[in-house]
Structure 1
Amino acid sequence: MSVFKRELQLLSLALLLCVSASAPLCDVPVQRWCESEQTAQRCGVLDQCVQVNSSRWRSDERVNVSLYYESLCPGCRQFLTQQLMPTFAMLSDIMTVELVPYGNAQEKQVGQKYQFLCQHGEDECLGNMIETCMLDKMGDAAYAVITCMEASTDVLKAAPTCAGLFSPDTSYADVMSCVNGDEGNQLMHQNAKKTGALQPPHQYVPWITINGKYTEDQQQTAQSSLFILVCSLYQGEKPAACTLGQKQMKTSYC
């Protein structure tokens, strides 16, 4: 579905609800009402959004791609910006994405909190934490913000600018409050647990699972052409984009 067509449907939905005096008491902007099934339900427009996103919410059919990565790992940055997010932009109707910033880091519990040691130093730990808090605070907008950061020359310096561009409704101060507080510490601990529970255990990053499972063949295919892999794995009616294909790329690891 084109962006214009989707925005037109959302505008029509908003007008219909306003005219019928049934607009929800919801603090989410209208363009985000249909962002997720949970948001639509909370805002009282689930039935209408199902019509807007008729193919988007068939989560039992969509291909889930989970990326376990580090914010400053060159290979992770390459895969996220050149494979994962471009593919997601073209195939969002048939795939979902999960980002888990942690990778090869290590954690140590000190009292009620955790300390983290990262492969590429303290800046990477900070980048991991910022992106973790963005994923918690920004919803789907976090994907664009993180892509912007990872595509920038300086990931950390780009963070506030990217946040302002792609998630203007989110207070960056709230993100940093999460980063510097107990909330971010616990969120990163959950990333550590999720990464540590991988079977087989990860050996490097980027580490890619498809529908919760890892195979070496799928890892290699995902890194050379994720687009082709997602199209081949999707069991429903394939979108027209799947006929376009995508060139293969060299792989890189940390």
Structure 2
Amino acid sequence: MACTLLRCIFLLSCLMAIEVCLARSLTDHDDHHHHHILPNSAKKVPVNLYYETLCPGCQEFILEGLPPLFKNELIDIIELRLVPWGNARVHSNQSFVCQHGPPECFLNTVEACAIDAWPTPLEYFPFILCVENLASEGKHTEWETCFTKLGLDPKPVKDCSSSDHGKQLELKYAKETKELKPQHEFVPWVVVNKQPLKEDIGNLITYICRAYKGTPPSACHDKSSSISTSDEAPHVYPACYATKDQNNAHP
């Protein structure tokens, strides 16, 4: 019970941080429009997460590793993309086989549809955070409750996930995952500025700060985000490994 309460408090704080980021983003957009303030010219750092919805390590990383990106203005210096496919396979008849069975294939499609319906991380991430929290508690069948909890219109996601559009989104993610160079070995698989972090995803913020060429946000000055000076070893997330057959699967 105590663990569940702490998790709820943690998730609430994450959602509040995302709401603050969204409000700031809208304010900044209004300032640029009315006062012609030039934005930071430094290129944002691409950060891609390749994952599958029912992999425990992916759930843990989404719940604990990604929320800090929405704090201390880190989200402003990155282009965050989530790719829900992971170690799934596509058969020649275009059917999917997922590592954790049909429920995972379905939830992968649901989250792909959420990303499609609400294209920015500030919009779609609260929904994915909610779904993955339920999945981590063995309640993935209750995913639709996240619409009510977050005040979201369920129609775009439900229509997409039950149609060919959802399947096409997953086929697109399957192709992207298969074409990774080097190929992914497991999930969660994080790529920062085209560099796979492999087992070192616990140092994600450090890699982002090193890759960013502009004025760094306050999080980049935090001792805990440094590989070389941190007193604590970075967290190691459990992995769901891909097989050779999965990496060589159609398409």
**Range of TM-score over shorter length:** 0.7 to 0.9
The answer for the alignment partner of 1:165 in structure 2 is: 149
Aligned with residue 102 of structure 1, among 72, 77, 85: 85
Asked if the contact 1:130/1:176 (under 8 Å) is kept, the reply is yes
- The one-letter code of the counterpart of 2:95 is Q
**Amino acid in the other structure paired with 1:237:** T
Does residue 136 (structure 1) correspond to residue 116 (structure 2)? The answer is yes
- CA distance 1:154–1:46, change in 2 (3 Å): farther
Distance 1:50 1:121, change over 3 A: farther
The structure 2 residue matched to 1:149, chosen from 131, 142, 147, is: 131
Inter-partner Cα distance in structure 2 for 1:93 and 1:9:
8
| Paired position in structure 2 for 1:54 | 39
1:49 deviates by 9.0
Opposite residue 100 of structure 2, the aligned amino acid is H
Partner of 2:211: 233
Alignment deviations for residues 188-215 of structure 1 (CA, whole Å, 9 cap, x no partner): 110111111111111211111112x234
Summarize the Cα distance change of 1:7–1:154 in structure 2 as closer, same or farther, 3 Å threshold. Answer: same
- State the distance in 1 between where 2:192 and 2:128 align: 21
Instruction: Deviation per CA, 1:67-94: give whole Å up to 9, x if none.
Output: 1100000111111221123224441111
TM-score where L is the length of structure 1: 0.72
Does structure 1 conserve the Cα–Cα contact (< 8 Å) formed by 2:21 and 2:70? no
> How far apart, CA to CA, are the structure 2 residues paired with 1:5 and 1:68?
23
Partner of 2:195: 214
Whole-Å separation in 2 of the counterparts to 1:95 and 1:125: 28
The separation in 2 between residues aligned to 1:5 and 1:81, in whole angstroms, is 17
Structure with larger RCO (C-alpha < 8 A, sep 6+): 2
Cα distance in 2 for residues equivalent to 1:49 and 1:143: 30
Relative to the length of structure 2, the TM-score reads: 0.73
By how many angstroms is 1:184 displaced?
A: 0.5
| CA shift for structure 1 position 156 | 2.8
Which amino acid counterpart does residue 198 of structure 2 have in structure 1?
A: Q
Residue 138 and residue 3 in structure 1: after superposition, are their counterparts in 2 closer, same or farther (change >3 A)?
Answer: closer
**Which of residues 216, 221, 235 is equivalent to 1:249?**
235
Deviation for aligned residue 1:243: 2.0
2:144 is paired with a residue of what secondary structure? Answer: helix
Stretches of structure 1 lacking an aligned partner (at least 5 in a row): 14-33, 35-39
Q: 1:101 to 1:3 in 2, by over 3 A?
A: closer
Q: CA RMSD in A?
A: 3.0
Deviations 1:69-124 (A, max 9, x none): 000001111112211232244411111211010111011243xxx21100000110
Secondary structure at the counterpart of residue 104 of structure 1 = coil
Structure 1 Cα separation of the partners of residues 83 and 21 of structure 2: 32
**Unmatched 5+ residue regions in structure 2?**
1-16, 226-231, 241-251
Report the CA distance shift for 1:101/1:48 in structure 2 as closer, same or farther (over 3 A): farther
Which whole-Å deviations, capped at 9, do the CAs of 1:130-175 have from their partners, x for residues lacking one? Answer: 0000000122211111012112324633422223334x3x531331
Give yes or no for contact 2:51–2:187 (8 Å, CA) kept in 1: yes
Q: Distance in 1 between matches of 2:49 and 2:36?
A: 28
| Aligned residue pairs, count | 211
Q: Which has the larger radius of gyration?
A: 1
The one-letter code matched in structure 2 to 1:73 is: C
The aligned amino acid for 1:160 is E
1:4-19 correspondence runs (5 A): 7=23, 10=26
State whether residues 206 and 253 of structure 1, in contact with CA within 8 Å, keep that contact through their aligned partners in structure 2: yes
- Structure 1 residues 8 and 143: alpha-carbon distance in aligned structure 2, compared to 1, 3 A threshold: closer
Q: Which residue of 1 aligns with 2:4?
A: none
Taking the aligned partners of 1:159 and 1:149, their CA distance within structure 2 comes to 5
Residue of structure 2 equivalent to 1:19:
none
